[in-house]
Chain A
Amino acid sequence: MTARSESAAPNRIDLPHLLAGLAWLAGLWFAMLRLPLLNVAANRLVPGHPVVGADALGWTGAAIAAASLAGLVLTMIRDGRRFALVAAAGFTVALLILAEGLGSGAARNLAGAAPAARASLGAGSWLALALLGGGLGFAVRRSRVRWLGLAVGLGLGLGLAALAHAGRLDALSLAVEYAARHEAVQAAIREHLVLAGSALAIAIAGAVPLSLWRRGQGLVAMLVGGIQVVPAVALLGALVALTAGLLRAVPALRETGLSALGAAPAVAGIAAYLLLPLWRGIGLAMRSPDAAAIEAAEAVGLTRRQILLGIRLPLGAPILVGALRVAAVQGLGLATLGALVGAGGLGRIVFDGMAQFAPDLILLGAVPVVALSLGAEIGLSRLEAAARRRWHP
């Protein structure tokens, strides 16, 4: 909010903004010319040798530098909407050129090598991608055009998909790894969503009665707050140990499909952590209309049901969506640990990669986790903002 009002004011470059811009440029320069952009190795497990600067990017390096410099200058000198739009376009183009340059650079560096040889993205590539992405985000924010973020995201996605479809990225080791395991990755994404989704559903079903039990709120606060203190690895371990014991004590339970290792302890464990944000959100939402509004509604004879549906829920809707956002992001992250107790999901790919010490395999699991979490965060915060606009104009 501060940033927004700050960015609205200056049409001149002040010293702090100039310094920030220069630091950004220095970072990009360092990433593209000094840090390894690619690592070329004989196979997917051994560490490779770094490829720096023009050896990796060729002429595209200059194009990226030009596009990003233009974008930076445009976002800095003027605060107009048009300038920010052009700058956002410049950053988007720079990102796509970088992706293409890295893809063809990888192909060039692998030419003539054995089929097992891999070219993976180096530290410089990640830093350059992050800096360009940050610049793009800054330009999108400055433009204050509501749909621009979505449009830029779609444009980037389509551009990358087109590059991948044309085979321009095929030489990158991440693409090679994905090509070899795309079915496993897609199955893992589905499992991950089912794990997080069912945990969220169970947590909602649990949080509602906990919020309605008025006398026990002190106890509930201790309970759901206490669960947060328990480390997730410990809770999952304890749940597996207890489920194993329970199955041993009551063998009939086995016939219901319950097993000590698998989805059941993972879903129960994840759901337990999601109780706190949901319970707190429901409580805050129900208390959000002031007492006078409720009394006025009672005075005109509205029933409790009407007050709930007509006043409490609409007024609390943004808070409820906010709680759902926090819980969904947490659930998607925690579901990664589900693989620890044999529940599958993207965590399995991450843990396989850790066991083999294969960075690309780790990335193959980690990138979708981060993408899903960010997607949930961005999507639900947009819904939250929409609910706020709708009911709190």
Chain B
Amino acid sequence: MASMTRFPRLNPARHPAPGFAAMGLVLAAISHPAVATAIVSGLGEPVRRPLAVARLLDLGLRHILLAGTGLGLVAILGIGLGILVTRPAGVPWRPVVDALAAGAQAVPPVVVVALALPVLGFGGPPTLLALVAYGIMPVLRGTVGGIEGVAPDVREAGRAIGLTRTQILTRIELPLAAPAIVETLRTALVLAVATAAVGALAGAATLGSPIVAGLQNQNTVPMLQGAAATAALAFLADALLLALTGRWRASTRP
């Protein structure tokens, strides 16, 4: 009876990287024109103009470039601002950052893309702005949370042995906050891949383009190909980041 009322804790040891990688490979296979055509015709849908592999790879490369640029900007700005607002001089900016963080979550990426469209024109720029606007806040919050989570005693010990403020930051605060920061970068990565797909609505050439075009002219095959390829990219990138950080964590842990 007693054991029946326990709710199990999640098992943190379960590592999703291999599962995500396998999922990504399956989805990548589905995005292949032959497989997608077979699935759609198997369901009895008429098959029109599937996307060639070369075109798919080209779109995938553009998608990666756009999402990668955005993620780079997000990491630099998010971590940088996170460090700034945790310095003594940054204290008055904390409420500003908290308010912006809450506000940014209320504006979905598609709305940012739409609002930036008249200012920045069609294509990559509004998408990049949406990527940065939406991705920066989770990273900033994660960085602030990670740095503030460092026990005051540890910081005090650093000061006692004569470390400067910069050394306390680089040798104590940042290494201890690293797991939290990496976790938010994962969120930002997934957001970046998704937002780059939304960018297709503003005319950016990404893996979202065949989905949007397919929805508009009722062409199921490219729609399925684009959807599977976008999802494959997200899963593979997430699995890669998980694997890298898992390896890095294993090597830094004593």
Contact = CB atoms under 8 A, between A and B. Distances in A.
Interface of A: 2-3, 6-7, 15-17, 19-20, 134, 137-138, 141, 214, 217-218, 221-222, 225-226, 228-238, 240-242, 244-246, 248-249, 261, 283, 286-287, 291, 294-295, 298, 304, 307, 329, 333-334, 336-337, 340-341, 347, 350-351, 353-354, 357, 359, 362-363, 365-366, 369-370, 373-374, 377
A231 B8 contact: no
B215 A240 contact: yes
B96 A298 contact: no
Given A218-B11, A363-B115, A237 B93 contact: no
B57 interface: no
22 contacts: A3-B95, A7-B95, A214-B7, A218-B11, A228-B190, A230-B235, A231-B208, A233-B198, A235-B231, A237-B214, A238-B228, A245-B39, A248-B44, A249-B43, A286-B7, A298-B1, A298-B2, A304-B5, A350-B110, A350-B114, A351-B201, A374-B106
Given A233-B198, A298-B5, A370 B10 contact: no
Contacts of A234: 197, 207-208, 211, 226-228, 230-231, 234
A3 B2 contact: no
B200 interface: yes
Overall SS of chain B's interface: helix
Contacts of B35: none
Contacts of B148: 2
A3 B93 CA distance: 9
B223 A229 contact: no
Given A2-B94, A229-B234, A248 B43 contact: yes
Interface string B4-18: 111111110010100
Given A231-B231, A237-B214, A362-B114, A333 B10 contact: no
Contact of B234 (A17, A230, A337, A354): A230
B5 A307 contact: yes
A291 B5 CA distance: 10
Contacts of A350: 110-111, 114
Contacts of A221: 10, 14
Most chain A beta-carbon contacts within 10 A, residue among B93, B106, B193, B208? B106
Given A233-B194, A237-B211, A226 B118 contact: no
Most chain A beta-carbon contacts within 10 A, residue among B39, B207, B227? B227
B85 to A, nearest CB: 10
A63 to B, nearest CB: 25
Contacts of B228: 234, 238
B202 interface: yes
Interface in B209-254: 211-212, 214-215, 220, 223-224, 226-228, 230-231, 234-235, 238
Bin the interface of chain B by size: 35 or more
A187 to B, nearest CB: 19
Interface in B96-154: 96, 98-99, 102-103, 105-108, 110-111, 114-115, 117-118, 148
Given A329-B105, A357-B118, A287 B9 contact: yes
Overall SS of chain A's interface: helix
Given A229-B190, A248-B43, A377-B102, A362 B117 contact: yes
Contacts of A283: 7, 10
Contact of A231 (B106, B114, B197): B197
A340 B197 CA distance: 13
A229 B110 contact: no
Given A234-B211, A244-B45, A286-B7, A333 B108 contact: yes
Given A16-B90, A354-B201, A248 B111 contact: no
Given A214-B8, A231-B197, A233-B211, 7 more contacts: A16-B91, A226-B23, A229-B20, A231-B234, A234-B231, A244-B220, A287-B7
Contacts of B72: none
B92 interface: yes
A353 B16 contact: no
Contacts of A362: 114-115, 117-118
A377 B106 contact: yes
A266 B225 CA distance: 19
Contacts of B43: 242, 244-246, 248-249
B224 A229 contact: no
B88 interface: yes
Contacts of A298: 1-2, 5
